[in-house]
């Protein structure tokens, strides 16, 4: 398999960088890519981390996977990209400091655009389009903690498309006990996700870990992320083996309530834990004066729901969502499902 200048013969692992656009000073955030070419035909899995540069739990899991993956025992190909957004990674930031843009929103990119638009174009063209399935690792960076599989809302849940049927299985196969989808338009229009799906790539987003949990939970989150990648390889029939998971069920939430930070600011103090049930109007968090401790604002949920494992922990917050509530859409039972998916590979090793 050849990705840009990186070529792996069957049974081999190759590593290199995809050249991308340079900034005004010549700084070029070339993208590091590992290619594992299997010895038998099969689909291609792309695993990527740190497209938001500070969200690095998936990065560590991918590095661990790289040390374990034996291409001679692989059916199909694995493309592993531990850090997509090198400038964001360098500066511990979500987007790119070169032009302030968020690459994850820019696909399919623009070869004539800003540096990040050009990077997005090169990455989409040379990497993403080659995949059958894409695992995109996100996290809470240093300020929030997350733990669920995120996937796109289905147009007609009673009549899912072939891609949506495959995705449903992969969501459960990944092995977490919780998954969620957002109603369309929750965070604005995302043409990038549509571009990826239009390219025939089944996409899962993993919201996994975060800094405020790293001290106690970092290693466990990395191990669970790596377990999820292996589960996906098994589900895609690229390797053999049994699935491992948090437990027999995966609760799928319709994450229909996003709690936003109000205009008032202060030290953020979350009052609710994951799994708590809130009624409309209940207090989710408080903003307190850092000197007197007086409450400046109570952040209340506009609608009832259950706190899904996603939310701000650190006491200072930007203009962002601080919590997500959902209602249970369904509970999937792994023990009653065949988690394997059959894909028509784009690539032949």
Partner 1 sequence: MMPTPTLLAGVPVEPGSHIVHHLHAATTHGGFDVAAQLHLLRGATPGPTLVVHAGMSGLEIEPALTLPRWLRSIDPRSLRGNLIVAPLFNLSGFEFERIEAAWDGADLNALGAGRVDGTVSEQLIHAYASTVLEQADAVIDLRTGAQWGYYRYAGVHDVGGSERIESSLALAASLGLPHAALGEPVGATLAGAMAARGITWVTAWLGGGPGLRDHREVDSQALEHLLDGALAHLGMSDGSPADPAPMLRIHTILRPEAQRGLTFMDTSLRGSQVSAGTELGVVRDPFEGHVVRSVLAKRDGTVLHAGASWPVVPEGSTLAILADPL
The site for partner 1 (CB under 8 A) is made up of 15, 32, 34, 54, 56, 59-60, 63-64, 66-67, 82-83, 89, 92, 142-143, 145, 211-218, 267, 269, 288-294, 313-316
Residue 283 to residue 302: CA distance in whole angstroms: 10
Is the CB of 14 or the CB of 171 nearer to partner 1?
14
Is the CB of 63 or the CB of 327 nearer to partner 1?
63
**47 upstream amide cis, omega within 30 of 0:** no
Using CA atoms, how far residue 82 sits from 33, 123, 263, 284, in Å, is 8, 13, 36, 35
- Identify the DSSP state of 296: E
> Closest distance between partner 1 and the C-beta of residue 291, in Å?
4
> Closest distance between partner 1 and the C-beta of residue 226, in Å?
12
> Closest distance between partner 1 and the C-beta of residue 164, in Å?
34
> Closest distance between partner 1 and the C-beta of residue 174, in Å?
21
> Closest distance between partner 1 and the C-beta of residue 306, in Å?
19
> Closest distance between partner 1 and the C-beta of residue 213, in Å?
5
> Closest distance between partner 1 and the C-beta of residue 48, in Å?
12
> Which residues fall within 8 angstroms of residue 307, CB to CB, at 6 or more apart?
272, 273, 274, 275, 276, 277, 278, 284, 323, 324, 325
φ/ψ bin of 13: left (φ > 0), alpha (ψ from -120 to 50), beta (otherwise): beta
Nearest C-alpha neighbor of 146 from the set 234, 255, 233: 255
Residue 210 to residue 270: CA distance in whole angstroms: 16
Is the CB of 18 or the CB of 170 nearer to partner 1?
18
Q: Is 165 helix (H, G, I), strand (E, B) or coil?
A: helix
Q: In terms of C-beta density within 10 A (0-12 exposed, 13-18 middle, 19 or more buried), how is residue 158 classed?
A: exposed
Strands 75-81 and 144-152: unpaired
> Closest distance between partner 1 and the C-beta of residue 219, in Å?
9
- Identify the DSSP state of 149: E
> Residue 269 forms beta bridges with which residues?
286
Lookup: tokens for 149: 């599989």
Residue 98 to residue 22: CA distance in whole angstroms: 10
> Closest distance between partner 1 and the C-beta of residue 276, in Å?
15
Which residue in the block uniquely carries the two structure tokens 């399935």?
Answer: 133
Nearest C-alpha neighbor of 210 from the set 285, 287, 312: 312
CB atoms within 10 A of CB 203: 22
Counted residue by residue, the chain has a size of 349
Residue 169 to residue 82: CA distance in whole angstroms: 25
């Amino acid at each position: 398999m050849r990705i840009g200048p990186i070529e792996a013969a069957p049974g081999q692992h190759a590593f290199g960088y995809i050249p991308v656009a340079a900034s005004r000073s010549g700084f070029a955030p070339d993208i590091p890519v590992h290619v594992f070419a299997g010895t038998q035909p099969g689909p291609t899995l792309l695993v990527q981390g740190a497209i938001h540069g500070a969200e690095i739990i998936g990065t560590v899991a991918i590095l661990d996977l790289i040390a374990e993956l034996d291409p001679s025992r692989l059916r199909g190909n694995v493309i592993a990209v531990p850090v997509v957004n090198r400038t964001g990674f360098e500066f511990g930031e979500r987007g790119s400091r070169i032009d302030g843009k968020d690459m994850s929103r820019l696909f399919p990119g623009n070869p004539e655009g800003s540096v990040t638009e050009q990077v997005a174009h090169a990455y989409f063209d040379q990497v993403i389009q080659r995949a059958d399935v894409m695992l995109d690792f996100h996290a809470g960076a240093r300020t929030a903690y997350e733990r669920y599989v995120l996937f796109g809302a289905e147009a007609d849940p009673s009549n899912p498309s072939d891609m949506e049927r495959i995705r449903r299985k992969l969501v459960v196969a990944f092995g977490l006990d919780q998954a969620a989808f957002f109603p369309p338009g929750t965070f604005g229009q995302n043409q990038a996700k549509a571009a990826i799906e239009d390219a025939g790539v089944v996409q899962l987003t993993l919201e996994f870990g975060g800094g405020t949990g790293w001290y106690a939970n970092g290693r466990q989150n990395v191990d669970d992320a790596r377990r999820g990648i292996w589960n996906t390889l098994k589900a895609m029939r690229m390797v053999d083996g049994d699935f491992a998971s948090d437990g027999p069920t995966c609760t799928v939430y319709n994450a229909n309530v996003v709690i936003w930070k109000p205009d008032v600011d202060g030290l953020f103090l979350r009052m609710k834990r994951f799994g708590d049930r809130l009624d409309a109007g209940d207090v989710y968090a408080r903003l307190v004066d850092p000197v007197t401790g007086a409450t400046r604002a109570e952040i209340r949920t506009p609608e009832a729901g259950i706190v899904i494992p996603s939310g701000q922990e650190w006491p200072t917050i930007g203009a962002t969502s601080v919590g997500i509530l959902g209602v249970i859409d369904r509970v999937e039972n792994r023990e009653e499902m065949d988690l394997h998916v059959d894909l028509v590979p784009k690539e032949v090793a």
